[in-house]
């Protein structure tokens, strides 16, 4: 198990396959791009990321969502930031450079990500970047349960990924 500390994302690579993949720098880049796109200063925030396997994420999914099956990514926001009105942007946190605000935790599973990337015919790094952007948006209060919220979240993801030189994942 390897742990790395970056300015924004504290990454723990519980599954050793994540280290040579480069999860820590990929997550740092994706999270920073997400915050910057929304006008937030990355050094004012902290995120914890667990790079794990399907068995571990299935346990987490069962414990926290009552769904005992693997999934690609899970997120646990430190605060409820969602907008009350459907389709409106959530209330974004203030941030603090002296005492960075914890946005929450993310877990991402190797086997599910690898399988989904292969099924979509795209590089795993591109798929994982999308999932990290998606999870960071969840930490910031974005959601996709209601149609208006889903449209806002997907449009925001597409714009962030385009800024990183990546294609629309929903095409």
134 is in an annotated binding site: yes
CA-wise closest residue to 139 among 8, 25, 1, 16: 8
- Cα distance between the two ends of the chain: 36
Residue 74: half-sphere exposure toward Cβ, Cα within 13 Å: 25
**Exposure pattern of 28-37 as b/e (b: 16+ CB <10 Å)?**
bbbbbbbbeb
Segments in 22-120 forming alpha helices (H): 23-37, 54-65, 110-120
37 is in an annotated binding site: no
111 three-class SS: helix
Binding-site residues for Zn(2+) sit at 134, 138, 144
Residue ranges of the annotated binding site are 134, 138, 144
């Amino acid at each position: 198990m390897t742990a790395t500390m970056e300015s924004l994302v504290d990454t723990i690579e519980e599954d050793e396959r994540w280290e040579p993949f480069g999860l820590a720098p990929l997550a740092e880049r994706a999270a920073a791009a997400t915050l910057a796109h929304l006008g937030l200063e990355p050094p004012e925030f902290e995120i914890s990321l667990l790079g794990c396997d399907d068995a571990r994420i299935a346990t987490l999914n069962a414990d926290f969502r009552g769904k005992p099956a693997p999934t690609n990514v899970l997120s646990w926001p430190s605060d409820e930031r969602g907008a009350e009105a459907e389709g409106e942007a959530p209330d974004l946190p203030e941030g603090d450079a002296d005492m960075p605000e914890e946005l929450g935790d993310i877990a991402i599973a190797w086997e599910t990500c690898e399988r989904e990337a292969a099924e979509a015919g795209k590089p795993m790094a591109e798929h994982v970047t999308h999932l990290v952007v998606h999870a960071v948006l969840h930490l910031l209060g974005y959601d996709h349960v209601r149609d208006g919220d889903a449209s806002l979240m997907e449009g925001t993801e597409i714009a962030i990924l385009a800024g990183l030189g990546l294609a629309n994942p929903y095409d």
